[in-house]
Structures are given as structure tokens and as C-alpha cells.
């Protein structure tokens, strides 16, 4: 009984610290996700070692993933996507193709096994739209055609990445259809279906509120708990390479897709920048990889650090390029 009470208290501590550091991150112009990940690193094995990932944290983290993907589906406007299907499809395909080719090559050259190398391509093919949304809203470009194209391309990116990681976890990770691999895809599809109903706004508002104040902090904090920064010293070269690739492959690939669809240089550059951030979507995929035993906790650290770097750099690159449009 005492053990259970202690576990709940530690989860409460994780939530409080994660929410606070997330807000501090936004005050410094960073993504909330960055602050939330850092909270897990501070409380976990890397520094204070006061919170350990247990059954309840894992359960709440899985619920956080479900709510994240449900809300992503609820926010995906299929009708709006159809208006810009040519441009968004080319941007999404090129934005996926370049990371899927470049990351496995880089991982193999650095001595990683084939399974980890291919999975890296899947992780960094995803796009996190939350940071881009914030910058678009800040510059009053959310309702523009450029904003709609970025949102549509990001949704297509994430659908491709979710299907890829689901198939990969089934055929490579465990050889069976597990809840960990199917849950995000099911939640995303459920959100798209629920969007058609009048009550979808209420569902989205409630799930976002519950997620923001409890389940999302547990999810992002739990990832940070398992990052051991002490062992990253000998991986510094790899982390730098992965971080550079995370930014350049998505930027160049999406830019090429935008240019192929006939968009001008300024808009194409802005769209390329808007697709850089990996954030929560890549973290969901990393967690699926760990749950499906595609990668282990030790290897996941360099994935997480590269995601953090791309998430920090994305708005810095976006803001001046968005102003030119």
C-alpha cells in the first residue's frame, strides 16, 4: 500500500515539474515539449534519479499517446486537405523520401545495425505540427494557403510515418499485432471519424485539457526519464550528424516538393522550414519502437536528443522565412 502511495506521489511530482518546465520553455521561446523532456532528464537516471519508470507511468504514458493521436485526428480537416492535394502530396512525399534514404545510410556508416538504421528513417520522416502552428498563428498566417498546405502536408507525413512504424513493429519488432503498435494509428483514425460529428469540438476540448494537465506531461516526462546523458559523450559525433540531418533532410525535401508543385521560392522555403520540427510525433514513434523492441533504451537516447535539437531549431529557422511570404 505504501509503495503504491509513493508511486502516485512520484507521478504527481513528475507532472508538476514537467508542466512547470514546459511553461518555462515557452517563456524562452522554445517548444513546451523541450521543457517537458528536460524535466524527465532532471528527475530520472541522468541527474536526480528520484523517479523511475514503472507500470503506472507506462500506463499513463500510453494514455497520453492515445490522446495525442486522437487530437491529431480531430484536428485533421480532410476537406481542407483536398483543396491542396497536389502541393501537399508532393511536399509530404519528398519530405518523407529524403529522411528515409539519408538516415539509414548515416546510421549504417556509423556502425548501427540494419533494423535500427531503417527505423531511424521512419522516425525522422514524421513532422510535428504544433510548433509550426504556433509560429503561423503568431505571424497571422494560419488562415493562408501556405498555412493550409503545411498543415495538410504534415498530416500526410504523419499518416505515412504511423503506417510505416505500425508495419515495421509488426513484422520486425514483435511479429504480432500488439496494442503498442496499433494504438496510435487507431486513435488517429478514430479522431478523423469523430470529427464528422457535432460533438467533436467538445471531445477535442476535453481530451486536450486532460492531456495537457496530466497525460502529456507523464508521456513526455517518461521519455526523459530513460535518457542517460552520462553515456552520450561517446555518441556526440553521431548526435551532431543526426541533428544536422534532421533539419536539412526535411527542409530540403519539403522545399523540393513545394517547388515541384509550382510554388515560388519564398513560399517553398517557408514550407520547408515549417516541416522541420519532429516534436511529439517523432517521440510517439520512438516510444513504439522501444515497446516493440525495435530499439532499446540506450539507442533511443540519440534519437531523442536529435528530436530535441530539431524542435529547438525549427521556430528559429521558421520565423524569418515566414516573414518573407
The more confident residue out of 80 and 239 is: 239
Q: Which three cell numbers stand for residue 110?
A: 556509423
- Looking up cell 497525460 gives 215
- Average pLDDT on 245-270 reads 95
Q: Where are the alpha helices (DSSP H) in 112-144?
A: 114-123, 130-138
Question: Which tens digits make up the pLDDT trace of 125-138?
Answer: 988 877 787 778 77
CA distance 110 to 91: 29
CA 191 to chain centre: 17
pLDDT score for 178: 52
CA distance 284 to 264: 33
C-beta of residue 152 within 8 angstroms of C-beta of residue 304 = no
CA geometry: angle at 215 spanning 28 and 250, to 5°? 55
Task: Please count the residues of the chain.
Answer: 325
Q: Which three cell numbers stand for residue 171?
A: 513484422
C-beta of residue 277 within 8 angstroms of C-beta of residue 135 = no
CA distance 195 to 106: 40
Query: Residue 55: is it exposed, middle or buried by C-beta count within 10 angstroms (0-12/13-18/19+)?
Result: exposed
CATH class in words for 2-323: mainly alpha
pLDDT score for 177: 47
Judged against a pLDDT cut of 80, whether residue 3 lies above it is answered with no
Domain ranges of the chain: 2-323
Question: Which tens digits make up the pLDDT trace of 69-84?
Answer: 888 888 777 777 788 8
Query: Residue 95: is it exposed, middle or buried by C-beta count within 10 angstroms (0-12/13-18/19+)?
Result: buried
Q: Which three cell numbers stand for residue 269?
A: 522555403
- Average pLDDT on 92-118 reads 95
The neighbour count for residue 265, using CB atoms within 10 Å, is 11
What residues have CB less than 8 Å from 176, skipping those under 6 apart? 170
pTM for the structure as a whole = 0.83
Question: Which tens digits make up the pLDDT trace of 6-36?
Answer: 888 999 999 999 999 989 988 887 778 888 8
Residue % of the chain over a pLDDT of 90: 38
pLDDT score for 174: 55
DSSP letter for 193, please: H
Question: Which tens digits make up the pLDDT trace of 129-166?
Answer: 777 877 787 777 876 888 889 888 988 888 888 888 88
Question: Which tens digits make up the pLDDT trace of 184-206?
Answer: 778 888 988 999 899 999 999 99
- Average pLDDT on 207-221 reads 92
Amino acid at each position: 500500500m505504501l509503495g503504491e502511495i509513493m508511486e502516485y506521489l512520484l507521478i504527481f511530482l513528475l507532472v508538476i515539474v514537467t508542466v512547470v518546465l514546459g511553461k518555462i520553455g515557452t517563456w524562452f521561446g522554445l517548444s513546451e515539449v523541450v521543457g517537458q523532456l528536460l524535466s524527465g532528464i532532471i528527475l530520472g537516471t541522468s541527474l536526480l534519479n528520484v523517479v523511475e519508470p514503472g507500470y503506472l507511468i507506462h500506463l499513463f504514458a500510453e494514455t497520453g499517446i492515445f490522446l495525442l493521436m486522437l487530437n491529431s485526428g480531430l484536428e485533421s480537416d480532410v476537406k481542407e486537405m483536398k483543396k491542396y492535394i497536389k502541393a501537399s502530396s508532393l511536399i509530404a512525399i519528398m519530405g518523407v523520401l529524403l529522411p528515409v534514404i539519408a538516415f539509414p545510410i548515416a546510421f549504417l556508416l556509423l556502425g548501427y545495425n540494419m533494423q535500427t538504421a531503417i527505423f531511424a528513417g521512419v522516425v525522422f520522416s514524421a513532422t510535428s505540427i504544433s510548433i509550426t502552428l504556433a509560429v503561423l498563428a503568431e505571424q497571422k498566417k494560419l488562415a493562408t494557403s501556405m498555412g493550409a498546405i503545411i498543415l495538410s502536408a504534415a498530416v500526410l507525413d504523419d499518416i505515412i510515418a504511423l503506417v510505416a512504424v505500425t508495419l515495421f513493429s509488426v513484422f520486425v519488432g514483435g511479429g504480432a499485432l500488439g496494442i503498442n503498435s496499433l494504438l496510435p494509428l487507431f486513435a488517429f483514425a478514430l479522431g478523423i471519424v469523430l470529427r464528422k460529428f457535432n460533438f467533436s469540438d467538445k471531445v477535442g476540448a476535453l481530451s486536450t485539457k486532460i492531456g495537457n494537465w496530466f497525460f502529456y506531461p507523464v508521456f513526455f516526462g517518461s521519455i526523459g526519464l530513460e535518457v542517460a546523458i552520462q553515456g552520450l559523450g561517446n555518441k556526440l559525433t553521431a548526435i551532431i550528424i543526426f541533428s544536422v540531418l534532421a533539419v536539412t533532410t526535411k527542409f530540403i525535401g519539403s522545399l523540393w516538393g513545394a517547388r515541384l508543385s509550382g510554388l515560388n521560392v519564398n513560399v517553398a522555403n517557408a514550407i520547408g522550414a515549417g516541416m522541420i520540427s519532429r516534436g511529439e510525433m517523432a517521440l510517439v514513434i520512438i516510444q513504439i519502437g522501444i515497446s516493440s523492441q525495435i530499439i532499446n533504451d540506450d539507442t533511443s537516447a540519440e534519437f531523442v536528443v536529435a528530436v530535441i535539437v530539431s524542435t529547438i531549431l525549427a521556430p528559429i529557422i521558421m520565423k524569418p522565412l515566414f516573414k518573407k511570404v
